[in-house]
């Protein structure tokens, strides 16, 4: 599963800013239907005459077009060099500005970096043409309505609905940060600064000193999984503005963040609200939805699925966490899953698969293909009792 923002994982270059303008058709608002998958919001917009699928991502400091999509549209990005981790360099490109068209509104001359989004696409089992980040969101009051599957765009006015509870945002290099208070199992409080990242499917990721703070966790040792990430549930309360969220699902990473923040507030929290981002006034406003009081679910199987391109088939195992139920069942990286509990794997969406793998005590027979061999494995999920949490 993706724990960090797909956009943040990309190597960013400086995209030239153009004269971006917003043209409204009539009333200064637009309602766009959205797909919600793993708490992330995707919308279909038109660019260069083609309907494209975009992730709407507050954790992206710039907007991105997939390099394959750019080639398919016949666009010619300018080339640039972007430094990569470890001193290497990757060739990147940018487009000076394209019109992004939606019913009721056109954003003229949006700048785009050009990157490959293949890694994101294979984890979602669908093509993703681009990411819309700061240079799109800054022009609106943008409502992420996860429950209604909508993205609503209105003119960025300095007012917000009285029904909403608003918290201030701090922007650093075009990324929004918010103050979050965590309460440990013995009542000790820690208040830190977290990146607000609607492009990260995680709930709350703690990094650096917060990941090992003994006041926040009753078990000091980290159980490491794929990618060095460990799960924990010892934080008793998360306070965000006037809301309290009890026993949030937490992931921890010991290494400090380059931006020196204490972690990431991801879509697993944001998806429990209708979230209004008003970048112009540095505010985020929250209205709880029906999922606000539900218990947090987590993957109980311990393997990472991918759907390879070009046709996003078949369901394939990317990695297996050591000691997990999947490891005990004998599942290995590169195994192809043909069925799970009688469900043809090719017919399962990423969200349907996630629901099956969050069922405490479930037992599934896996039909897999490993090289030229076919075999059956027995996957038993642990007995973890979900608890109903109070409304924030």
Name the strand (E) or helix (H) holding 144: strand 140-145
In Å, what is the CA distance from 285 to each residue of 40, 199, 210, 315? 18, 18, 26, 38
pLDDT tens per residue, range 87-120: 443 546 999 889 999 999 999 999 999 999 999 9
| CA 143 remoteness from chain centre | 16
- What superfamily does domain 303-380 belong to in CATH? PDZ domain (2.30.42.10)
The pLDDT value recorded for residue 6 is 40
The pLDDT value recorded for residue 392 is 33
The pLDDT value recorded for residue 110 is 94
**221 Cβ neighbours under 8 A, 6+ residues apart:** none
The pLDDT value recorded for residue 182 is 95
- Higher-confidence residue of 244 and 217: namely 244
* Mean pLDDT, all residues of the chain: 85
Distance from C-alpha of 135 to C-alpha of 258, rounded to nearest angstrom? 22
What architecture is the 21-155 domain classified under in CATH?
Beta Barrel (2.40)
- Higher-confidence residue of 18 and 241: namely 241
Residue at token pair 């260069």: 48
Distance from C-alpha of 364 to C-alpha of 104, rounded to nearest angstrom? 47
Maximum separation of any 2 CA atoms in the chain, in Å? 63
Distance from C-alpha of 302 to C-alpha of 11, rounded to nearest angstrom? 28
Kindly list the domain boundaries of the chain, sorted by start residue.
Answer: 21-155, 165-288, 303-380
Please provide the distance, in angstroms rounded to a whole number, between the alpha carbons at the two ends of the chain: 26
- Banded pLDDT at 249 (limits 50, 70, 90): confident
Burial class (CB in 10 A: 0-12, 13-18, 19+), 25: exposed
Look at the domain 165-288 and name its fold: Cathepsin D, subunit A; domain 1 (2.40.70)
Q: Examine the pLDDT at 262 and tell me if it is beyond 60.
A: yes
Distance from C-alpha of 297 to C-alpha of 378, rounded to nearest angstrom? 22
Name the most confidently modeled range: 210-219, 229-238, 341-350: 341-350
When mean pLDDT is compared across 154-158, 194-198, 364-368, the lowest value belongs to 154-158
- Higher-confidence residue of 385 and 191: namely 191
What pTM was estimated for this model as a whole? 0.85
The yes-or-no answer to whether 21-155 and 303-380 have a common fold is no
The pLDDT value recorded for residue 159 is 62
15: preceding bond cis by omega (within 30 degrees): no
Q: How many CB atoms lie within 10 A of CB 23?
A: 11
The pLDDT value recorded for residue 95 is 93
Q: Examine the pLDDT at 310 and tell me if it is beyond 60.
A: yes
């Amino acid at each position: 599963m993706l724990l960090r923002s797909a956009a943040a994982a990309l190597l960013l270059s400086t995209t030239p800013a153009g004269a971006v303008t917003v043209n409204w058709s009539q009333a200064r608002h637009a309602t766009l239907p959205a797909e919600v998958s793993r708490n992330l919001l995707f919308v279909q917009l038109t660019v260069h005459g083609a309907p494209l699928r975009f992730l709407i991502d507050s954790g992206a400091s710039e907007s991105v077009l997939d390099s394959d999509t750019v080639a398919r549209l016949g666009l010619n990005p300018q080339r640039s060099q972007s430094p990569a981790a470890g001193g290497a360099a990757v060739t990147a490109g940018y487009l000076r500005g394209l019109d992004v068209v939606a019913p009721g509104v056109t954003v003229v001359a949006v700048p785009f970096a050009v990157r490959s989004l293949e890694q994101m696409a294979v984890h979602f089992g669908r093509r993703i043409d681009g990411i819309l980040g700061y240079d799109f969101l800054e022009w609106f009051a943008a409502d992420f309505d996860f429950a209604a599957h909508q993205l609503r765009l209105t003119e960025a006015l300095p007012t917000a609905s009285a029904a909403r509870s608003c918290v201030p945002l701090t922007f650093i290099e075009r990324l929004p940060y918010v103050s979050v208070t965590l309460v440990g199992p013995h009542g000790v409080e820690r208040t830190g600064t977290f990146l607000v990242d609607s492009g990260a499917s995680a709930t709350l990721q703690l990094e650096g000193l917060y990941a090992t703070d003994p006041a926040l966790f009753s078990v000091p040792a980290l159980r490491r999984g794929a990618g060095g990430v460990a799960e924990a549930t010892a934080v008793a309360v998360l306070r965000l503005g006037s809301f309290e969220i009890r026993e949030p699902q937490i992931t921890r990473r010991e290494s400090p963040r380059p931006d020196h923040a204490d972690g990431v507030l991801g879509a697993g929290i944001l998806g429990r609200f209708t979230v209004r981002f008003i970048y112009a006034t540095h505010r985020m406003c929250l209205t709880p939805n029906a999922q606000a009081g539900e218990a947090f679910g987590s993957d109980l199987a311990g393997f990472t699925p991918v759907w390879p391109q070009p046709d996003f088939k078949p369901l394939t195992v990317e990695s297996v966490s050591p000691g997990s139920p999947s490891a005990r069942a004998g599942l290995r990286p590169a195994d192809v899953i043909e069925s799970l509990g009688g469900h043809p794997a090719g017919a399962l969406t990423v969200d349907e698969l996630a629901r099956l793998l969050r069922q405490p005590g479930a037992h599934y027979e896996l039909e897999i293909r490993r090289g030229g061999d076919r075999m059956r494995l027995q996957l038993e999920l642990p007995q973890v009792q979900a608890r109903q949490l109070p409304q924030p």
